[in-house]
Amino acid sequence: MFKYLFFIFQLILPAAMAQDNPLEKILIQNPSLFQKLIEKPEKYRLQIIYTQINRDKHNKATFQTFEYRSKKNEYFYPASTVKLAASVLALEKINDLAIKELSAKSTMFTLKARVSQNEIKQDTTSQNGLPSIEHYIKKILMVSDNEAYNRLFEFIGQRELNERMHDLGFKDSRFIHRLQVSIPNSENKYSNPIQFLNPKGSIIYQEAEKVNNSDIFAPESILIGKGIMNKEGKVLDKPLDFKDKNAYPLSEQHEFLKRLFFPESFPKNQQFHLKNEDYQFLYKYMSKTPSESLFPNYSKDSTYYPSYCKFLYYGSEKSAKIDPNIRIFNKVGDAYGFLLDNAYFVDFKNKVEFMVSAVILCNEDEIFNDDIYEYDSVGFPFFKNLGQKIYESELHRVKKNQPDLSKLKFNYED
């Protein structure tokens, strides 16, 4: 009798707990979509954070956040999600320099002081053929360009980037290296010399090479998986150590996104040093699709379909029908089998808004660098289903006041 009651208790308890957590309720009530994942969440390193947004009569927002396995001590590789933070901090640095003529639109030359570094003095994808902070950010937010991130990483500097994140309260983040570049990690301590020029070609600001003399690696090894494929195609029977890789906990990514869209809800010392036009610029290009862009122009590259990098709600469907009433302001990441998305979701027609951050590991064989990752069979369907189910729930959630979302409407044709 006792065993029978205990079995019933095990069935009832999760359902009862889920009543207080709409996120858990969505996962439990859709077993065909999520059961495989929530049966073994540790295997998939699954973490989700969902924030409901309510408005008062003055349109001021308040938040109620729900979590599923949000664990700061459970490492995941943040991949391209670090690029949004770098974009914001690059704009901050421009503002903090407060130099006449200098802006994010100014031509930026990245110079070379070491063999490992690249010199960049042109960008054929920009309207004038020249690189700038603004244009790099456009490429980051629309198609997650790695080289664009590297230029911002160099402009800010490894030490300065980490110090600013920590000053803002993001104490567990570590931005260590450039992306998709095969150089020793010691080289990431060095940042290229930089020059900014005015339209006449005169230098308006420049920086010499910077170096970070401190180590920012994890204090201990971070071992994941059971094998690593080397360059010769041989699998080494040992876990991959992420100690010297970037780190950016999901809770900090979600908080960063919240501060970006609702700065007025936070005290001054937690706000970014951004102007109103900076916020508007970031919002526009976080929600703009590659097919809407003229500079850069992605129309001839089939890689960049309309729903590209909109994992939540659309997954990876190239032929997905885009809802004209919905805009997703987000930053995604994928690498080493980890798949991530941080999104502020807005439906202008139905007055729906919410935030979701999630990460999942798609690596069934637990071998890294073998390029066998279950993005298409596990990861993208998970994000699509999660976004759609939360959206369906939000459509029916009763709110006292409807949000005014007009500041998030943009002309995407320019």
**Model confidence band, residue 67 (pLDDT cutoffs 50, 70, 90):** very high
CA distances from 115 to 148, 183, 191 (A): 19, 10, 12
The Cα 325–Cα 77 span in angstroms is 33
The tens digit of pLDDT for each residue in 251-276 reads 999 999 999 999 999 999 999 999 99
Token pair in block for residue 123: 């960008």
Domain 19-408 CATH assignment equals 3.40.470.10: no
Answer with the residue of higher pLDDT: 334 or 2.
334
Would the pLDDT of 15 be above 60? Answer: no
Would the pLDDT of 284 be above 50? Answer: yes
SS3 234: coil
Contact 366, 227 (CB under 8 A): yes
Contacts 24+ apart (CB under 8 A), 207-210: 209/113, 209/114, 210/157, 210/159, 210/160
Which residues, other chains included, contact 62 with Cβ-Cβ below 8 Å and sequence gap of 6+? 53, 54, 55, 56, 265
| Per-residue model confidence (pLDDT) at position 19 | 63
| Per-residue model confidence (pLDDT) at position 9 | 41
The domain segmentation of the chain, as residue ranges, is: 19-408
| Per-residue model confidence (pLDDT) at position 18 | 56
> Region 364-383: what's the mean pLDDT?
97
The Cα 274–Cα 297 span in angstroms is 27
| pTM, full prediction | 0.94
The tens digit of pLDDT for each residue in 177-217 reads 999 999 999 999 999 999 999 999 999 999 999 999 999 99
The tens digit of pLDDT for each residue in 311-359 reads 999 999 999 999 999 999 999 999 999 999 999 999 999 999 999 999 9
Helices 250-261 & 82-97 angle (0-180, nearest 10)? 50
| pLDDT, the chain, mean | 95
> Region 133-149: what's the mean pLDDT?
98
